[in-house]
């Protein structure tokens, strides 16, 4: 099960059922703007933009919002923010490592908000490199499991260069080398499979298993960080039993 963790599945589930649509939509719009700025406004020639738009559509971002975000990012329309990508490393309670990715137009605000949120929830900032050494960059494609033949999906993904396919709950998670994520995504599409997201991610090399009390503290900190306007994604090296994960879902 290389490249898979229960925390990664939990992140996907939380995004899928996130009631705070305003927060989720703002992050999706930022993704689209950055992708359009970096690679142009044509999704057919910009795989990162194609995948950002697909993810936005899967999360019900209105079409007008998507169109305007592409235009702002590509410079076709005024009003696009000059977002800067910043990564912070930190610790959650129990020494759990965190990688916090931000897209911000105000570096000082982002740093202050991240530092304050960590401190208020039993965490702390870490020196660069002290956490990231324990994470490996991978490509990750999430496929809804409903009606999907696992063996066929595995065969198509493996032939296209995927490292692994794992089933958990209602999704299949395909892990690839970062450079192979687009090729694998195209292969599964050509074979008739739908997908929810295809993106670069960070996978922990070593995970710490937590009991319910410790996992709840870490989860609360991650939720607080996720509420920050500048925070785009969070990666952590914790896991827990199925029973603990079920308890967290009920909180």
- 171 phi and psi angles, rounded to 5 deg: -140, 160
The b/e string for 52-74 (b: 16+ C-beta within 10 A; e otherwise) is bbbbbebbebeeeebebbbbbbb
Q: What is the mean pLDDT of residues 23-36?
A: 91
Q: What is the pLDDT of residues 154-183, one digit of tens each?
A: 999 999 999 999 987 789 999 999 999 999
Superfamily of domain 135-204: YebC, transcriptional regulation domain (3.30.70.980)
Give the pLDDT of residue 6: 57
Residues of the chain with pLDDT > 90: what percent? 74
**Second-level CATH architecture of 16-74:** Orthogonal Bundle (1.10)
| Residue ranges per structural domain of the chain | 16-74, 84-133+208-250, 135-204
Whether the domain at 16-74 and the domain at 84-133+208-250 fall into the same CATH topology: no
Which pLDDT score is estimated for 250? 79
Q: What is the domain class of 84-133+208-250 according to CATH?
A: alpha beta
pLDDT category of residue 79 using cuts at 50, 70 and 90 = confident
Burial of 31 (0-12, 13-18, 19+ CB in 10 A): buried
Integer-rounded Cα Rg, in Å, for the chain is 18
């Amino acid at each position: 099960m290389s490249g898979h963790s229960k925390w990664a599945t939990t992140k996907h589930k939380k995004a899928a059922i996130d009631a705070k649509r305003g927060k989720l939509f703002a992050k999706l719009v930022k993704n689209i703007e950055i992708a359009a700025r970096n690679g142009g406004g044509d999704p057919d020639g910009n795989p990162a933009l194609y995948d950002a738009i697909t993810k936005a559509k899967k999360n019900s971002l209105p079409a007008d919002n998507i169109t305007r975000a592409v235009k702002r990012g590509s410079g076709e329309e005024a009003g696009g923010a000059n977002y800067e990508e910043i990564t912070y490393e930190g610790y959650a309670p129990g020494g759990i490592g965190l990688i916090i990715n931000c897209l911000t137009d105000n570096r000082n605000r982002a740093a202050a908000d991240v530092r304050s949120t960590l401190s208020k929830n039993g965490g702390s900032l870490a020196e660069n490199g002290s956490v990231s050494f324990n994470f490996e960059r991978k490509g990750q494609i999430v496929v809804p499991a409903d009606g999907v033949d696992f063996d066929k999906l595995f065969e198509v993904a493996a032939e296209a260069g995927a490292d692994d396919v794992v089933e958990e709950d209602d999704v299949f998670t395909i892990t690839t080398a970062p450079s192979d994520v687009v090729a694998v995504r195209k292969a599964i599409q050509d074979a008739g499979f739908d997908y929810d997201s295809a993106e670069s991610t960070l996978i922990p090399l070593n995970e710490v298993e937590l009991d319910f009390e410790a996992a709840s503290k870490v989860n609360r900190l991650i939720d607080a960080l996720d509420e920050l306007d500048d925070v785009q994604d969070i990666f952590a090296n914790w896991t827990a039993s199925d029973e603990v994960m079920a308890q967290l879902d009920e909180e």
